[in-house]
Amino acid sequence: MSGQNRVIVLMLGVLAALVIVVGGLSAVLLLGGGEDGATTTSTSDEGGGISRTADGDDDDGETAGLDTGSGDTEDASGRLRLAGSDPVTMDPHLAGDSGSAEFIVEIFSGLLTITPDLNIELDLAESFEVSDDGLVYTFTLRDDIFFHQGRRVTAEDVRWSLERAASRELASPTALGYLGDIIGVRERFYEGAEGISGIEVIDDRTIQFTIDAPKPYFLAKLTYPTAFIVDRQQIEANPRGWTRRPNGTGPYRLQEWRLGQRIVLQANARYHLGAPSIREVLYELSGGSTLTRFENGELDIAFISVNDIDRARDPESDIGPLYQVFPQFTISYLALNTNVPPFDDVNVRRALGFSLDRT
Protein backbone atom coordinates (compact mmCIF):
# COMPACT_ATOMS: atom_id res chain seq x y z
CA MET A 1 0.00 0.00 0.00
CA SER A 2 1.36 3.41 -0.91
CA GLY A 3 1.86 6.11 1.67
CA GLN A 4 -0.96 8.15 0.16
CA ASN A 5 -3.42 5.29 0.35
CA ARG A 6 -2.34 4.45 3.87
CA VAL A 7 -3.04 7.97 5.06
CA ILE A 8 -6.43 8.39 3.42
CA VAL A 9 -7.60 4.98 4.57
CA LEU A 10 -6.47 5.71 8.10
CA MET A 11 -8.37 8.96 8.02
CA LEU A 12 -11.56 7.54 6.56
CA GLY A 13 -11.38 3.94 7.73
CA VAL A 14 -9.78 2.92 10.98
CA LEU A 15 -10.00 6.33 12.58
CA ALA A 16 -13.56 6.83 11.51
CA ALA A 17 -14.42 3.58 13.22
CA LEU A 18 -12.71 4.74 16.39
CA VAL A 19 -14.82 7.89 16.45
CA ILE A 20 -17.92 5.76 15.95
CA VAL A 21 -17.11 3.55 18.91
CA VAL A 22 -16.41 6.44 21.26
CA GLY A 23 -19.39 8.51 20.19
CA GLY A 24 -21.82 5.62 20.26
CA LEU A 25 -22.88 6.42 16.73
CA SER A 26 -23.97 4.10 13.97
CA ALA A 27 -21.24 2.71 11.74
CA VAL A 28 -22.25 5.01 8.92
CA LEU A 29 -21.06 8.33 7.63
CA LEU A 30 -21.73 10.97 5.06
CA LEU A 31 -18.99 12.31 2.87
CA GLY A 32 -19.48 15.61 1.12
CA GLY A 33 -18.32 19.17 1.25
CA GLY A 34 -19.01 22.83 0.91
CA GLU A 35 -20.09 24.53 -2.24
CA ASP A 36 -16.66 26.07 -2.81
CA GLY A 37 -13.45 24.37 -3.81
CA ALA A 38 -12.31 21.46 -5.89
CA THR A 39 -14.28 18.23 -5.91
CA THR A 40 -12.80 14.75 -5.95
CA THR A 41 -14.48 11.36 -5.84
CA SER A 42 -12.99 8.17 -4.47
CA THR A 43 -14.01 4.72 -3.33
CA SER A 44 -12.46 2.31 -0.87
CA ASP A 45 -12.48 -1.45 -0.52
CA GLU A 46 -13.00 -0.88 3.18
CA GLY A 47 -16.51 0.44 2.62
CA GLY A 48 -16.43 2.87 -0.27
CA GLY A 49 -17.77 6.38 -0.30
CA ILE A 50 -17.86 9.75 -1.96
CA SER A 51 -15.60 12.53 -0.77
CA ARG A 52 -15.56 16.18 -1.71
CA THR A 53 -12.90 18.29 -0.07
CA ALA A 54 -13.24 22.04 -0.06
CA ASP A 55 -10.00 23.95 -0.50
CA GLY A 56 -10.33 26.99 1.72
CA ASP A 57 -8.00 29.79 2.71
CA ASP A 58 -6.01 29.49 5.91
CA ASP A 59 -7.16 31.70 8.76
CA ASP A 60 -4.69 34.00 10.45
CA GLY A 61 -3.92 33.46 14.10
CA GLU A 62 -1.55 31.91 16.57
CA THR A 63 -0.26 28.47 15.76
CA ALA A 64 1.14 25.67 17.87
CA GLY A 65 3.13 23.78 15.30
CA LEU A 66 6.39 23.42 13.43
CA ASP A 67 8.01 24.91 10.38
CA THR A 68 6.98 23.13 7.22
CA GLY A 69 10.61 22.37 6.46
CA SER A 70 12.13 21.78 3.07
CA GLY A 71 10.08 20.41 0.22
CA ASP A 72 6.58 21.37 -0.78
CA THR A 73 3.12 19.86 -0.85
CA GLU A 74 2.19 20.71 -4.42
CA ASP A 75 1.17 17.11 -5.05
CA ALA A 76 -1.26 17.32 -2.14
CA SER A 77 -4.48 19.22 -2.62
CA GLY A 78 -7.56 20.28 -0.74
CA ARG A 79 -8.65 20.51 2.86
CA LEU A 80 -10.55 17.76 4.64
CA ARG A 81 -12.84 19.19 7.32
CA LEU A 82 -13.87 16.97 10.21
CA ALA A 83 -15.59 17.34 13.55
CA GLY A 84 -13.48 16.45 16.55
CA SER A 85 -12.61 17.13 20.15
CA ASP A 86 -9.44 18.04 22.01
CA PRO A 87 -7.31 14.95 22.63
CA VAL A 88 -6.65 13.84 26.18
CA THR A 89 -2.97 13.74 25.26
CA MET A 90 -0.71 14.01 22.24
CA ASP A 91 1.85 11.74 23.93
CA PRO A 92 1.75 8.36 22.14
CA HIS A 93 3.20 6.61 25.18
CA LEU A 94 0.36 7.79 27.42
CA ALA A 95 -2.60 7.56 25.07
CA GLY A 96 -5.16 4.94 25.96
CA ASP A 97 -8.18 6.48 24.26
CA SER A 98 -9.20 6.50 20.63
CA GLY A 99 -9.84 10.25 20.60
CA SER A 100 -6.16 10.93 21.23
CA ALA A 101 -5.06 8.13 18.90
CA GLU A 102 -6.96 9.77 16.05
CA PHE A 103 -4.32 12.51 15.98
CA ILE A 104 -1.33 10.55 17.25
CA VAL A 105 -1.32 8.00 14.42
CA GLU A 106 -1.08 10.82 11.89
CA ILE A 107 1.71 12.72 13.67
CA PHE A 108 3.87 9.82 14.86
CA SER A 109 4.88 6.40 13.58
CA GLY A 110 6.69 3.25 14.68
CA LEU A 111 8.77 0.46 13.23
CA LEU A 112 5.68 -1.25 11.85
CA THR A 113 2.16 -0.27 10.89
CA ILE A 114 -1.11 -2.12 10.51
CA THR A 115 -3.25 -1.70 7.40
CA PRO A 116 -7.06 -1.49 7.28
CA ASP A 117 -6.93 -5.13 6.12
CA LEU A 118 -5.17 -5.91 9.41
CA ASN A 119 -1.90 -6.78 7.70
CA ILE A 120 1.35 -5.77 9.36
CA GLU A 121 3.63 -3.73 7.11
CA LEU A 122 6.98 -2.00 7.45
CA ASP A 123 6.96 1.66 8.50
CA LEU A 124 10.15 3.16 9.93
CA ALA A 125 11.77 -0.25 9.54
CA GLU A 126 13.16 -1.29 6.18
CA SER A 127 13.31 -4.97 7.13
CA PHE A 128 13.44 -7.32 10.10
CA GLU A 129 14.65 -10.81 10.91
CA VAL A 130 13.47 -13.27 13.55
CA SER A 131 15.79 -15.83 15.11
CA ASP A 132 15.05 -19.53 14.68
CA ASP A 133 13.89 -19.82 18.28
CA GLY A 134 11.49 -16.88 17.85
CA LEU A 135 13.06 -14.86 20.65
CA VAL A 136 15.22 -12.27 18.90
CA TYR A 137 13.88 -9.64 16.47
CA THR A 138 16.42 -7.58 14.55
CA PHE A 139 15.12 -4.46 12.80
CA THR A 140 16.93 -2.43 10.16
CA LEU A 141 15.71 1.16 9.81
CA ARG A 142 15.08 2.92 6.54
CA ASP A 143 17.73 5.44 5.52
CA ASP A 144 15.18 8.14 4.60
CA ILE A 145 13.32 8.64 7.88
CA PHE A 146 13.33 12.07 9.53
CA PHE A 147 11.52 13.89 12.28
CA HIS A 148 9.34 16.73 11.04
CA GLN A 149 11.98 19.27 11.97
CA GLY A 150 14.55 17.49 9.82
CA ARG A 151 16.69 15.39 12.16
CA ARG A 152 17.38 11.85 10.97
CA VAL A 153 15.86 9.03 13.04
CA THR A 154 18.38 6.51 14.41
CA ALA A 155 18.23 3.24 16.30
CA GLU A 156 19.14 5.18 19.43
CA ASP A 157 15.90 7.16 19.04
CA VAL A 158 14.00 3.88 18.95
CA ARG A 159 15.73 2.58 22.07
CA TRP A 160 15.19 5.82 23.99
CA SER A 161 11.53 6.01 22.98
CA LEU A 162 10.72 2.51 24.18
CA GLU A 163 12.67 2.98 27.40
CA ARG A 164 10.76 6.18 28.00
CA ALA A 165 7.44 4.44 27.36
CA ALA A 166 8.33 1.71 29.86
CA SER A 167 9.74 3.99 32.54
CA ARG A 168 8.35 3.97 36.06
CA GLU A 169 8.28 7.77 36.04
CA LEU A 170 5.98 7.98 33.03
CA ALA A 171 3.66 5.24 34.34
CA SER A 172 2.17 4.54 30.93
CA PRO A 173 -1.18 2.71 31.16
CA THR A 174 -0.35 0.70 28.03
CA ALA A 175 3.39 -0.02 28.31
CA LEU A 176 3.16 -3.44 29.92
CA GLY A 177 0.40 -4.61 27.61
CA TYR A 178 2.25 -3.71 24.42
CA LEU A 179 5.93 -3.77 25.37
CA GLY A 180 5.93 -6.22 28.28
CA ASP A 181 7.07 -9.16 26.15
CA ILE A 182 10.51 -7.55 25.78
CA ILE A 183 12.93 -8.77 28.44
CA GLY A 184 13.63 -6.02 30.95
CA VAL A 185 10.50 -3.95 30.38
CA ARG A 186 8.83 -5.11 33.59
CA GLU A 187 11.98 -4.42 35.61
CA ARG A 188 12.10 -0.89 34.25
CA PHE A 189 8.39 -0.31 34.81
CA TYR A 190 8.15 -1.75 38.33
CA GLU A 191 11.67 -1.34 39.70
CA GLY A 192 13.00 1.67 37.81
CA ALA A 193 15.80 -0.22 36.06
CA GLU A 194 18.17 2.07 34.19
CA GLY A 195 17.39 0.61 30.78
CA ILE A 196 15.71 -2.33 29.07
CA SER A 197 18.05 -5.31 28.97
CA GLY A 198 16.23 -6.88 26.02
CA ILE A 199 16.89 -3.92 23.71
CA GLU A 200 20.29 -3.56 22.04
CA VAL A 201 21.40 -0.94 19.54
CA ILE A 202 23.70 -2.61 17.00
CA ASP A 203 24.44 0.50 14.92
CA ASP A 204 22.68 3.67 13.79
CA ARG A 205 20.22 1.73 11.65
CA THR A 206 19.96 -1.59 13.49
CA ILE A 207 18.21 -2.44 16.75
CA GLN A 208 17.51 -5.80 18.37
CA PHE A 209 14.71 -6.90 20.70
CA THR A 210 14.78 -10.08 22.80
CA ILE A 211 11.43 -11.28 24.10
CA ASP A 212 10.67 -13.72 26.91
CA ALA A 213 8.99 -16.43 24.81
CA PRO A 214 8.05 -17.03 21.16
CA LYS A 215 4.92 -14.98 20.50
CA PRO A 216 3.42 -14.69 17.01
CA TYR A 217 1.51 -11.55 18.03
CA PHE A 218 4.57 -9.59 19.12
CA LEU A 219 4.88 -7.72 15.81
CA ALA A 220 1.24 -6.62 16.00
CA LYS A 221 1.90 -5.02 19.38
CA LEU A 222 4.63 -2.86 17.86
CA THR A 223 2.03 -1.13 15.67
CA TYR A 224 0.37 0.44 18.74
CA PRO A 225 1.22 4.07 19.69
CA THR A 226 3.04 2.88 22.83
CA ALA A 227 5.84 1.76 20.48
CA PHE A 228 5.91 4.98 18.44
CA ILE A 229 9.10 7.00 18.18
CA VAL A 230 9.38 10.40 19.85
CA ASP A 231 12.07 13.07 19.69
CA ARG A 232 14.34 12.86 22.73
CA GLN A 233 15.91 16.25 22.09
CA GLN A 234 12.53 17.96 22.00
CA ILE A 235 11.21 16.25 25.12
CA GLU A 236 14.32 16.90 27.18
CA ALA A 237 14.30 20.56 26.11
CA ASN A 238 10.62 21.06 26.97
CA PRO A 239 9.35 18.13 29.08
CA ARG A 240 6.08 19.81 30.08
CA GLY A 241 5.06 21.50 26.84
CA TRP A 242 6.44 19.39 24.02
CA THR A 243 3.08 17.82 23.15
CA ARG A 244 1.76 21.20 22.04
CA ARG A 245 4.39 21.07 19.26
CA PRO A 246 5.07 17.35 18.77
CA ASN A 247 7.97 16.60 16.46
CA GLY A 248 6.95 13.25 15.03
CA THR A 249 7.72 11.17 11.96
CA GLY A 250 4.21 10.61 10.65
CA PRO A 251 2.39 11.66 7.47
CA TYR A 252 1.07 14.85 9.05
CA ARG A 253 2.59 17.55 11.26
CA LEU A 254 0.64 19.58 13.80
CA GLN A 255 0.23 23.01 12.21
CA GLU A 256 -2.17 24.56 14.71
CA TRP A 257 -3.93 23.62 17.94
CA ARG A 258 -6.38 26.03 19.52
CA LEU A 259 -7.91 24.37 22.56
CA GLY A 260 -11.63 23.93 22.15
CA GLN A 261 -11.59 25.47 18.69
CA ARG A 262 -9.62 23.60 16.06
CA ILE A 263 -6.67 21.40 15.21
CA VAL A 264 -4.96 21.66 11.83
CA LEU A 265 -2.73 18.92 10.45
CA GLN A 266 -0.45 19.73 7.52
CA ALA A 267 0.84 17.14 5.05
CA ASN A 268 4.45 16.06 5.58
CA ALA A 269 6.02 16.32 2.12
CA ARG A 270 9.04 14.30 3.30
CA TYR A 271 7.01 11.40 4.66
CA HIS A 272 8.97 8.23 4.00
CA LEU A 273 5.98 6.22 2.76
CA GLY A 274 4.91 8.92 0.31
CA ALA A 275 3.50 12.40 0.79
CA PRO A 276 -0.23 12.44 1.67
CA SER A 277 -2.68 13.28 -1.08
CA ILE A 278 -4.68 15.62 1.17
CA ARG A 279 -2.83 18.86 1.90
CA GLU A 280 -4.55 19.77 5.14
CA VAL A 281 -6.91 18.19 7.65
CA LEU A 282 -8.97 20.60 9.73
CA TYR A 283 -10.69 19.35 12.89
CA GLU A 284 -13.43 21.68 14.11
CA LEU A 285 -13.62 21.14 17.87
CA SER A 286 -16.87 23.01 18.49
CA GLY A 287 -19.98 24.06 16.64
CA GLY A 288 -22.95 21.87 17.51
CA SER A 289 -24.58 19.08 15.51
CA THR A 290 -22.20 17.53 12.98
CA LEU A 291 -25.06 16.68 10.64
CA THR A 292 -26.30 20.27 10.65
CA ARG A 293 -22.81 21.55 10.01
CA PHE A 294 -22.41 19.04 7.20
CA GLU A 295 -25.63 20.22 5.58
CA ASN A 296 -24.45 23.81 5.93
CA GLY A 297 -21.26 22.96 4.03
CA GLU A 298 -19.02 23.36 7.08
CA LEU A 299 -17.84 19.72 7.28
CA ASP A 300 -16.91 17.07 4.73
CA ILE A 301 -17.88 14.09 6.91
CA ALA A 302 -20.75 13.63 9.36
CA PHE A 303 -21.58 10.59 11.43
CA ILE A 304 -25.22 9.60 11.72
CA SER A 305 -26.92 9.10 15.06
CA VAL A 306 -29.85 6.75 15.55
CA ASN A 307 -32.19 9.74 15.43
CA ASP A 308 -31.28 10.42 11.80
CA ILE A 309 -30.71 6.89 10.53
CA ASP A 310 -34.10 6.51 8.81
CA ARG A 311 -33.61 9.76 6.95
CA ALA A 312 -30.10 8.77 5.89
CA ARG A 313 -31.28 5.38 4.64
CA ASP A 314 -34.05 6.92 2.55
CA PRO A 315 -32.66 7.21 -1.00
CA GLU A 316 -35.22 9.93 -1.71
CA SER A 317 -34.02 12.17 1.12
CA ASP A 318 -31.60 15.02 0.54
CA ILE A 319 -28.78 13.18 2.31
CA GLY A 320 -29.70 9.67 1.16
CA PRO A 321 -27.43 9.65 -1.93
CA LEU A 322 -24.43 10.46 0.27
CA TYR A 323 -25.13 7.80 2.87
CA GLN A 324 -22.43 5.12 3.17
CA VAL A 325 -21.95 2.18 5.53
CA PHE A 326 -18.48 1.27 6.78
CA PRO A 327 -17.33 -1.70 8.87
CA GLN A 328 -16.45 -0.97 12.47
CA PHE A 329 -12.95 -1.71 13.71
CA THR A 330 -14.29 -3.04 17.00
CA ILE A 331 -15.83 -6.01 18.82
CA SER A 332 -19.26 -5.85 20.45
CA TYR A 333 -20.63 -8.39 22.91
CA LEU A 334 -23.26 -8.97 25.59
CA ALA A 335 -22.04 -9.94 29.06
CA LEU A 336 -24.51 -11.91 31.17
CA ASN A 337 -24.34 -12.30 34.94
CA THR A 338 -24.56 -16.06 35.25
CA ASN A 339 -24.78 -15.89 39.04
CA VAL A 340 -28.33 -14.54 39.16
CA PRO A 341 -31.64 -15.65 37.59
CA PRO A 342 -32.60 -16.07 34.87
CA PHE A 343 -29.13 -16.18 33.34
CA ASP A 344 -27.90 -18.79 35.80
CA ASP A 345 -29.91 -21.24 33.68
CA VAL A 346 -27.88 -22.42 30.69
CA ASN A 347 -31.07 -23.01 28.70
CA VAL A 348 -32.10 -19.38 29.13
CA ARG A 349 -28.71 -18.28 27.89
CA ARG A 350 -28.98 -20.57 24.89
CA ALA A 351 -32.48 -19.30 24.12
CA LEU A 352 -31.25 -15.73 24.23
CA GLY A 353 -28.40 -16.62 21.92
CA PHE A 354 -30.74 -18.21 19.39
CA SER A 355 -33.03 -15.17 19.49
CA LEU A 356 -30.35 -12.72 18.33
CA ASP A 357 -30.25 -11.69 14.69
CA ARG A 358 -26.62 -12.34 13.70
CA THR A 359 -26.93 -11.30 10.07
Region of residue 135 (phi > 0: left; psi between -120 and 50: alpha; otherwise: beta): alpha
Task: Clarify whether residues 201 and 145 are in a common domain.
Answer: yes
Judge whether 352 lies within some domain.
Answer: no
Residue 199's CATH number: 3.90.76.10
Judge whether 52 lies within some domain.
Answer: yes
Domain that holds residue 135: 112-237
Greater model confidence, 291 or 209: 209
pLDDT of residue 34: 37
Report d(CA 62, CA 256) in Å as an integer.
8
- Last residue of some domain: 211, 237, 263? 237
Task: Clarify whether residues 116 and 32 are in a common domain.
Answer: no
Task: Clarify whether residues 91 and 139 are in a common domain.
Answer: no
Average pLDDT over residues 294-311: 90
Least confident of 14-28, 84-98, 138-152: 14-28
pLDDT in tens, 44-59: 333 322 233 333 333 3
Task: Clarify whether residues 299 and 261 are in a common domain.
Answer: yes
Q: How many domains does the chain have?
A: 2
Provide CB contacts within 8 A for 292, sequence distance 6+.
none
Task: Clarify whether residues 104 and 120 are in a common domain.
Answer: no
Judge whether 339 lies within some domain.
Answer: no
Task: Clarify whether residues 8 and 96 are in a common domain.
Answer: yes
Task: Clarify whether residues 119 and 214 are in a common domain.
Answer: yes
Least confident of 53-67, 176-190, 258-272: 53-67
Greater model confidence, 6 or 72: 72
Strand arrangement, sheet containing 28-31: 301-303, 28-31, 323-325
If you average pLDDT over every residue of the chain, what do you get?
82
- Last residue of some domain: 237, 263, 291? 237
Average pLDDT over residues 174-187: 98
Task: Clarify whether residues 233 and 129 are in a common domain.
Answer: yes
Judge whether 354 lies within some domain.
Answer: no
Judge whether 271 lies within some domain.
Answer: yes
pLDDT in tens, 97-113: 989 999 999 999 999 99
Task: Clarify whether residues 260 and 157 are in a common domain.
Answer: no
Least confident of 40-49, 145-154, 333-342: 40-49
**Residue 206: enclosing H or E segment and its boundaries?**
strand 206-210
For residue 173, pLDDT over 80 is answered with yes
Judge whether 349 lies within some domain.
Answer: no
CB atoms within 10 A of CB 230: 23
User: How does strand 125-130 pair with strand 301-303?
Assistant: unpaired
Task: Clarify whether residues 66 and 126 are in a common domain.
Answer: no
- Last residue of some domain: 237, 272, 289? 237
Backbone angles phi, psi at 262, to 5 degrees: -160, 155
Confidence of residue 288 (pLDDT cuts 50, 70, 90): confident
Task: Clarify whether residues 119 and 231 are in a common domain.
Answer: yes
Judge whether 359 lies within some domain.
Answer: no
pLDDT of residue 269: 93
Residue 32's CATH number: 3.40.190
pLDDT of residue 306: 82
pLDDT in tens, 224-273: 999 999 999 999 999 999 999 999 999 999 999 999 999 999 999 999 99
Q: Which of 48, 12, 2 lies closest to 281, judged by CA?
A: 12
**Contact at 8 Å (CB) between 310 and 316?**
no
pTM confidence score? 0.75
Q: Crossing angle for the helix pair 15-23 and 98-107, nearest 10 degrees?
A: 160
Judge whether 333 lies within some domain.
Answer: no
